[in-house]
Amino acid sequence: MSRFAKIVKLDQKAVKTLSESYQLGHHDEITYEYKSERGLTAKMVADLSSRKNEPEWMKELRLRAFGLYEMMPMPGWVPDMSGINWNEIYYYLAPTKGTSKTWEEVPDAIKKTFDKIGVPQAEREMLSGVKAQYDSEVIYGSLRKSLSAKGVVFLGMDDGLAKYPELVKEYFSRIVPLGDNKLAALNSAVWSGGSFIYVPKNVEVELPLQAYFRINAENAGQFERTLIIADEGSKVHYVEGCSAPAYSSGSLHAAVVEIIVKKGARVQYTTIQNWYKNVYNLVTKRAWVEEEGQMRWIDGNLGSRLTVKYPACILAGRKARGETLSIAMAGSGQHQDAGAKMIHLAPETTSQIISKSISKNGGRATYRGLVKINKGARGARSKVVCDALILDPRSRSDTYPTNIILENEVSLEHEATVSKVGEDQLFYLMSRGLPEHEAEAMIVNGFLEPIMKQIPLEYAVEMNRLVELEMEGSVG
Amino acid sequence: MALEVKGIKVKIEGKEVLRGVSLEVKAGEVVALMGKNGSGKSTLAYCLMGHPKYIVSKDRGTAIRLDGLDITQKTPDERAKAGLFLALQYPVSIPGVSVREALLASLRSRGEKISALELKKRIEMEAEELSMSEELLKRSLNEGFSGGEKKKMEILQMRILAPKYAILDETDSGLDIDALKIVAEGASYMASKKKTGILVITHYQRLLSYLKPDRVLIMNLGKIAKEGGVELATELERTGYKQYE
């Protein structure tokens, strides 16, 4: 949109403030208790398990996963990852011993980082529980007493394994098998941190449980593992927000999230991903949904250099429902390869995918989705809506939908639109007195609005702010 | 105190659409600009508001001045801040953005301190004056609006933004007689009470029986062909545009 006057001035400002505009781009000095050597060997995997005092079966599982990781090729469709130097990544870092229970016990340097990303605010605002991951270990967590009284478990994954080994053994890697894909295998081998949640039968957790993740050390790979088990008739909303400080060489984030939604249970999983723009964010997220259960993924991708992530629902029981609302924003040097997968295995299952992507300043946004309706899933219904907004001619948007239908009597709708922020829309708002970048940000926020209103208010506010920060650096 | 337009020339794809237009609208004055399709009326409107598609040729003596301030090279938002407003003939829709959000940003970007609640009340008041349903205010701006609703929404924005000079580009088209009256009264009020100078662009004399112009300009082939009093519009209704060709 260079035809409006004054662009040159704004452009120079934008370049100057580009790094400043990433407000979370600070780097705190922290003494790491343990830092593994660079690169990965079977011995390191075994050492990691021993040091964490894990049961023998977990060590074996890790080693099996490591074997698979070494054997498996990268999936064919995965975009260019040549920026990752696998041997340069630290696979395990532990900032402090154990998990602190109260805010007061958290070390100051770590507190400062959390202050900047707003964890204490969330605490003050009486959110039901806070888990925060600093590099690899959960170092701060609190859970409201009322939740504990109802039998709700909300722990770091390592603690979960120590305290509920049987439950973890039953479900760990059941939804995402060790050899599901190369990165899931890697995560299974070296996972550390993440959340473990169990919600008992018919218990409804009213306020969202939340965790913040952060990559702090340069080249620190973060391999958190999250397992959520929502027992029959229960309800829970889990919120994950990510941010990472500024570094020059690429960091890797390869997480695995497994969710079991039992009969009649409802789970929502909200992610706001704002990794710094050198992070490779390669995540496998999958939910197993039983009869009349409901799973909803809200997946916001603003940061990272490359994100590859397609939250999935396996609709295994009659009338199970899966939903994914996906937002991707790809700026200069970014590629957001995001989408969703819905696998209908049972009759009368329903699914909906709504994807909104924005590409600007040469960024690339890709929607990649799969809807599969298996033999036997009679009366299944699915709806897919993909809207892409392209802000300038240098940017790119692609849509790769795959539909596999093996049953008759099903319904599948697919809508896709691609729009460009029109000169006429910009002119309209500018003629009412809005400067160009404000007008553009307003159009972008409006485009995202249908998804924003599904997100809890404080996250929607944060997300809006992040979008605006992104837009400020985007003029020209 | 006037909006002065001097010798505006605009080419679109090599064709000269405006061939030296000069006019003046004084504060509080209503000036009607009439002319048949393709005479250049809407181009002039866009051009005055600074649409990037219409580039004014930089001839000596060419200028757009608002109360003495030269706005010829300014961006649309700067022109709006200087006190200019354009009610569009075809307002675009902005999905996900309500009129309140848009107006709040507009007012704040020119430094006005108004609370969201205060603005909400003002918008609701104006909507009532214009017989607009409250439901329209909650919807995305212009999305799914009828032609008439869009025009009313333009007038509502004009009244809230209270510009020094407003251009109404065929605001009457698509309006039924009741809506036409309401819109005309809304504009008349701005001219008489707020001293807004109004340039009203129209095909028909119909609007002008409710919004009484002080002067009438007739445009043809990118030029002002004739200027006169309100009787010019009546005469035009009888004889058509032929005589100006």
- The pLDDT tens digits of the residues spanning A402-441 come to 999 999 999 999 888 887 777 789 999 999 999 998 998 8
Question: What is the C-alpha to C-alpha distance for residues B57 and A283, in angstroms, rounded to an integer?
Answer: 55
Spatial contact of A221 and A252, defined as CB atoms under 8 Å apart: yes
Q: For B167, which residue in chain A has the nearest alpha carbon?
A: A431
Q: Does A3 contact B53 at a Cβ distance shorter than 8 Å? A: yes
Residues of chain A neighbouring B51 (CB-CB closer than 8 A): 427
Nearest to A442 among B51, B105, B157 (CB): B105
B28 conformational bin, left if phi > 0, alpha if psi -120 to 50, beta if neither: left
Residue B108 structure tokens? 């704040």
User: So what's the ipTM on this one?
Assistant: 0.95
Spatial contact of A352 and A313, defined as CB atoms under 8 Å apart: no
Q: What is the pLDDT of residue A342?
A: 98
Other Cβ atoms within 10 Å of B204 Cβ, number: 15
Decide if B143 touches A, using CB distance below 8 A: no
CA dihedral A215, A216, A217, A223 (to 10 degrees): -20
Q: What is the pLDDT of residue A5?
A: 36
Nearest to A432 among B51, B75, B102 (CB): B102
Whether residue B41 is contained in a domain is answered as yes
A350: which residues sit within 8 A by CB, 6+ positions away? A315, A319, A320, A321, A322, A380, A381, A382
Nearest CA to A274 among A469, A440, A17? A469
Q: For A425, which residue in chain B has the nearest alpha carbon?
A: B92
Decide if B49 touches A, using CB distance below 8 A: yes
Residues of chain B neighbouring A423 (CB-CB closer than 8 A): 52-53
Task: Compute and round to an integer the Cα radius of gyration of chain B.
Answer: 18
Spatial contact of A275 and A308, defined as CB atoms under 8 Å apart: no
CA distances from A116 to A243, A245, A361, B71 (A): 11, 11, 28, 44
**Amino acid letter, residue A435:** P
Q: pLDDT grade, residue A87 (50/70/90)?
A: confident
Q: What is the pLDDT of residue A85?
A: 72
Spatial contact of B182 and B131, defined as CB atoms under 8 Å apart: yes
Nearest CA to A428 among B90, B4, B20? B90
Q: Does B52 contact A3 at a Cβ distance shorter than 8 Å? A: yes
H-state helical runs in chain B: 41-49, 76-82, 99-109, 116-129, 134-138, 147-161, 177-194, 231-239
pLDDT above 70 coverage of chain B, percent: 100
Whether residue B106 is contained in a domain is answered as no
Whether residue B158 is contained in a domain is answered as no
Q: Does B97 contact A449 at a Cβ distance shorter than 8 Å? A: yes
Nearest CA to B87 among B56, B48, B121, B58? B48
Quote the mean pLDDT of chain A. 79
Domain boundaries, chain A: 1-30+424-476, 32-309
Q: Does A432 contact B103 at a Cβ distance shorter than 8 Å? A: yes
Nearest to B92 among A3, A5, A424 (CB): A424
Nearest to A446 among B86, B96, B161 (CB): B96
Q: What is the mean pLDDT of residues A376-394?
A: 92
**SS3 for B3?**
strand
Q: Going edge to edge, which strands form the sheet with B223-228?
A: B84-87, B165-169, B197-202, B30-34, B215-220, B223-228
Distance from CA of A448 to the nearest CA of B (A): 7
Choose the most confident range, by mean pLDDT, from A95-99, A222-226, A455-459, A460-464: A222-226
Q: What is the pLDDT of residue A199?
A: 96
Nearest CA to A190 among A40, A319, A297, A407? A40
Question: What is the C-alpha to C-alpha distance for residues B98 and A449, in angstroms, rounded to an integer?
Answer: 11
A162: which residues sit within 8 A by CB, 6+ positions away? A53
Question: What is the C-alpha to C-alpha distance for residues B16 and A112, in angstroms, rounded to an integer?
Answer: 64
Residues of chain A neighbouring B140 (CB-CB closer than 8 A): 446
Question: What is the C-alpha to C-alpha distance for residues B1 and A459, in angstroms, rounded to an integer?
Answer: 49
Domain holding B226, by residue range, is: 2-94+163-244
CATH (domain of B227) = 3.40.50.300
Of the given ranges (A130-144, A156-170, B167-181, B187-201), which has the lowest mean pLDDT? A130-144
Q: What is the mean pLDDT of residues B101-129?
A: 93
**SS3 for B182?**
helix
Give Dmax over CA atoms of chain A in angstroms. Answer: 68
Whether residue B85 is contained in a domain is answered as yes
**SS3 for B114?**
coil
CA distances from B180 to A37, B130, B147, B151, B197 (A): 78, 10, 12, 10, 19
Q: Which of A8, A431, A440, A442 to mutate to test the interface with B (most CBs of B within 10 A)?
A: A431
Residues of chain A neighbouring B88 (CB-CB closer than 8 A): 428, 431
Q: Does A5 contact B73 at a Cβ distance shorter than 8 Å? A: yes
Q: How many domains does chain B have?
A: 1
Residue A218 structure tokens? 């340069």
Question: What is the C-alpha to C-alpha distance for residues A449 and A373, in angstroms, rounded to an integer?
Answer: 30
Tens of pLDDT, residues A339-358: 999 999 999 999 999 999 99
Q: What is the pLDDT of residue A364?
A: 95
Q: For B111, which residue in chain A has the nearest alpha carbon?
A: A433
Given a cut of 60, whether residue A252 has pLDDT beyond it is yes
**SS3 for A52?**
coil
Tens of pLDDT, residues B27-52: 999 999 998 888 899 999 999 999 98
Nearest to A445 among B85, B96, B161 (CB): B96
Decide if B53 touches A, using CB distance below 8 A: yes
Whether residue B150 is contained in a domain is answered as no
CA A67 to chain centre: 26
Q: What is the pLDDT of residue A128?
A: 34
Q: Does B75 contact A446 at a Cβ distance shorter than 8 Å? A: no
CA distances from A36 to A89, A91, A155, A218, B183 (A): 9, 6, 24, 13, 73
Question: What is the C-alpha to C-alpha distance for residues A99 and A400, in angstroms, rounded to an integer?
Answer: 43
Q: What is the pLDDT of residue A304?
A: 87
Q: What is the pLDDT of residue A244?
A: 53
Nearest to B94 among A433, A435, A446 (CB): A446
Question: What is the C-alpha to C-alpha distance for residues B70 and B53, in angstroms, rounded to an integer?
Answer: 20
Q: Which of B43, B51, B58 to mutate to test the interface with A (most CBs of A within 10 A)?
A: B51
Distance from CA of B83 to the nearest CA of A (A): 9
Distance from CA of A435 to the nearest CA of B (A): 6
Spatial contact of A122 and A174, defined as CB atoms under 8 Å apart: no
Question: What is the C-alpha to C-alpha distance for residues B55 and B53, in angstroms, rounded to an integer?
Answer: 6
Q: What is the pLDDT of residue B178?
A: 87
Given a cut of 50, whether residue A15 has pLDDT beyond it is no
